[in-house]
A and B are shown apart, each in its own frame.
Chain A
């Protein structure tokens, strides 16, 4: 297939291009103009499309004849207007520019769209978990990823395009290590919040391979698939593993989840009392966002395993190469 990969210069997009090429696809890799890859680094079978989805331009002319889209592009940081532009406006412009007759759309969403308060004890999160009903209480990323996913689903439903919505967990790999599980660092100490809660990690190559494999799914209509690795370490275990792999981590100090929630409750009370509920709190003090990151939840990936089979990269291997890239 001729596949357009948006966000091809990003952490995940780069891996998706490699996997798509390995799967035998012809790849149109969309890169932002200010960070185009050197021509000699672009492999045969990949055509670089310079363009920024936040505005129109000649990139739209390059989309004729594509069979499928893997939509990785999104703004992962910045304030709400920045993320609205980089995620929502960008997606609106992409959808408006797509040619008719697409065979498949693979949309890279996020676990952040779920309602992490919804699962009852014993908390299990899978594709049937409801989406966040009150995104305004969360962060700009959740708000914009929810809106982006809705736009893509409406577009594909209206056009009759088979859609795979892929919701990856925390993607790690060379260049991205999620602070090796620590919540805060105080001097030589790394505070490990909710040390026994599991992290929803997925190695970037595993993630990219499953996203590319989603292009071949036989299912018509739309399919939601959570992407997490089979090995899901605890925060404590991930930090410990990183230390074993040689990561420059501090001395781990566990902070139980109940203590984290107690801090959040105090911060909430202070916000209500002194700031009319408008206090801007960091993630580790904000009750709704605490749940997203640290609530003890079991993440299921049964559907992904059934559809995509075995994963390539094991946690120990992924951690080794991740740590190796951060060492001087």
Chain B
């Protein structure tokens, strides 16, 4: 381990004291923040030359961002336990037998969640809940089942204090799935995020319409293109955290992102960007990720010692890593401006053609970069359209069109999405606030979803423009909770602070209503 300067130690000590005294952080948030401060004292990774100036810079010049993963990763960023195995076999470490009824199933899951680490210290994946619970609700009173599942969801919302946690349902229509959708429409709460894996050949219209009704009440579920995800990741994939496609029983070691707009600022022109600037950044970021993965696998001891791995709920070889990017829109606009070419991302063929060329370069790089610990994804990382963080200013999530510049007609917006979603097996998505009158015509939304799936759009989210629960970028937050935080009151979930940041910096309340 390398030494660090006393100045830096003192700086961190100051931050620690600030955390201790913070009036708006809850106890849990303070403990988590203190752990991050402690981690920041460590220097164990062998960092690629040139990374420092790209990583440790202000938001208007930072080119690579490691999304708060810390200096010495003590666990993979995203962990996707095989909950079905837990239901079948129980857990020795947790001293739990396989559940025999709904009481035991829900109790076991809530215990298990407490022991699933992640970058946020909360589980980013809480299971394919319809399949997990369906066997237990078949022969019992429906009202009782609904009440129990409702309490289970309330418990999650109040104890998993971070809305990057994600449940999956579908594509099959099940009784448990229906109960979950009913309950979530009534509760209108932020946690957990939910995705319906949608396949028009498997998912009934009736089930999809129920899901749309729920989405217009509580901004979830989102709709994932099941055919597309399963063709890339196999049937055993899940959607976790914001909208990340990952392998079941595995996860993602790490996620870093390139801030493409800032990278474009450094390039002389389009050609320089394509042949020099971008390849330089991709190489450094990939090697940085390699280094993090190496530490996690070879040194952290996580995969040898954690019960999840020991009992087979996760397998090291089912892990991959997410090669992220943000700000494709800004990069394209900056590059066109440098060349004196007219046209804006999302509004001109020239801009969109350049954007596709950039994506092809990134995709090609990733296909040729090899990491021996990513066996589950053929030795390659998975591209990820990162949704941004609260402090991002003038950085549009992934490949999204900037808020305020959305095309007048939804059809043009969707056609634009269709050009870019194919690149991102580990997640991308677009969000559409919907006008209140659509509450009376859910089939309108269903038709759009069906068309989107045909056009290889990967992932869509809708929420009602008057809903309290809203989708910030990928995660959910209640507007009423943001209001509380703005008044200086503490709030339960840490993601509310991120939502507040995104409201001010990312203009997320100003999306074009459809």
- Do A and B interact with each other, yes or no? no
A residues bordering B, Cβ < 8 Å?
Answer: none
